[in-house]
Amino acid sequence: MDLIRIGEKIISRRKMARIIDQILEMRSTGVAQQEIANRLGVDRTFISRLENLGEVRKGNRIAVVGFPIKNKDEILDLLHREGIEFTLIMTETERWDFVKKSKGIELFNKIMNVLAEVRSFDVIIVIGSNQRIKVIEAIIDKEVVGFEIGESPIEEDKYVDPMKVLDILSAIKAKAFREAIK
């Protein structure tokens, strides 16, 4: 039923759903909560509470970079299921193709773009050699969690245990949850 009686009030579910859809659409395009509140005649705190009510994930935004990974597809599937927004996972062949297919400034720009994007995340998990982890820790001024799969230079694909990746993700999410409830 579309209409519900609450005391003396008659409430329209359809109207509520339409307004909520408008709010979420505007918020997803970057409109400020206060601006939406002014346009639709609702309290800004209502919009904030609505977002909190529907929030699926709290905590840190996580990026994962890793190479050379033998079971790339398995790791990518796991990361996707866990809601990881940014992944750059490559096999040894893909890593060399990335380098060989771009020359000079083009390669430099690609690497700089990847670094810029990764820096927008709160935590970066790096799956790779001891040397690659150290380099990324030095470049990125965010929390970097290293998952070493060998000594540098690694010249062949390495199997990455999905359960260990899941353990790292769980620990990061648990830490973010603990910090959020403080």
CA dihedral 63, 163, 178, 142 (to 10 degrees): -30
Structure-model confidence comparison of residues 141 and 55, the more confident one: 141
Average pLDDT across the chain, whole number: 90
CATH number at 3-54: 1.10.10
Rounded Cα–Cα distance for residues 86 and 110 (Å): 15
Confidence of residue 44 (pLDDT cuts 50, 70, 90): confident
CB–CB of 104/82 below 8 Å? no
Q: Domain coordinates of the chain in residue numbers?
A: 3-54, 62-180
Which architecture characterizes domain 62-180 according to CATH?
Answer: 3-Layer(aba) Sandwich (3.40)
